[in-house]
Amino acid sequence: MKNVIRLFIIVVLSISGVWLGKKIVQTYKHKKVSEQQIQTLPHACFESLEGKTICIDEFNPEKPLVLVYFHPECEHCQYEAQEIGQNTEAFSNCQLLMVTYDDSLQRVKNFCETYHLWEIDNIEVLIDAENQFKKVFGKAVVPSVYIYKNRKLKKQFLGETKLETIIEIINE
């Protein structure tokens, strides 16, 4: 009986090890594909606060695109939004997209109002209702900033980023 139990445990551990190894390899491959995919502005569609579908690759390629992935309750995101709201002139020569996975439309609207994002003409706040961001970009760290120029990734930041650094890259 002990041999049957040992054999069962060995089989279960072996199957679990193979499954885990396969998942690790799949994750690694997805990460590599995503890293390559985001070098050029990828196709990803999100929902505007008005319910329209907006695809990020449809924006004007002539102007730099700053893509910020955020969550309204994230303190670092709040800091970045406050800085953006207070320095609207610095973003006047680019397109600014803010994407959130938050499913509370009211919380997102309150966030925009609190940090004066409505006052920025060239901003679009989008909701990632179908988790497209992680599928396309491979990572969903909040906050994240991706800066594209001529549809090419100029720089990406994972985590809170100083506004001066973002503005410097936009103006290069």
CA distance 166 to 74: 19
Of 59, 111, 91, nearest to 169 by C-alpha is 91
Q: Is 57 helix (H, G, I), strand (E, B) or coil?
A: helix
Of 67, 143, 71, nearest to 111 by C-alpha is 71
CA distance 40 to 42: 6
Residue spans of beta strands (DSSP E) within 29-164: 45-48, 53-55, 65-70, 95-100, 123-127, 144-149, 152-158
The predicted structure's pLDDT at residue 23: 84
Q: What angle do CA 39, 42, 144 make, to 5 degrees?
A: 70
The string of DSSP codes covering 128-141 is: -TT-HHHHHHS---
Residue 170 has pLDDT above 80, yes or no: yes
For residue 169, report the phi and psi dihedrals to the nearest 5 degrees: -70, -40
Whether omega before 72 lies within 30 degrees of 0, making that bond cis, reads no
pTM over 0.85: no
The predicted structure's pLDDT at residue 94: 92
**pLDDT tens for each residue of 83-130:** 998 888 888 889 999 999 988 899 999 999 999 898 888 999 999 988
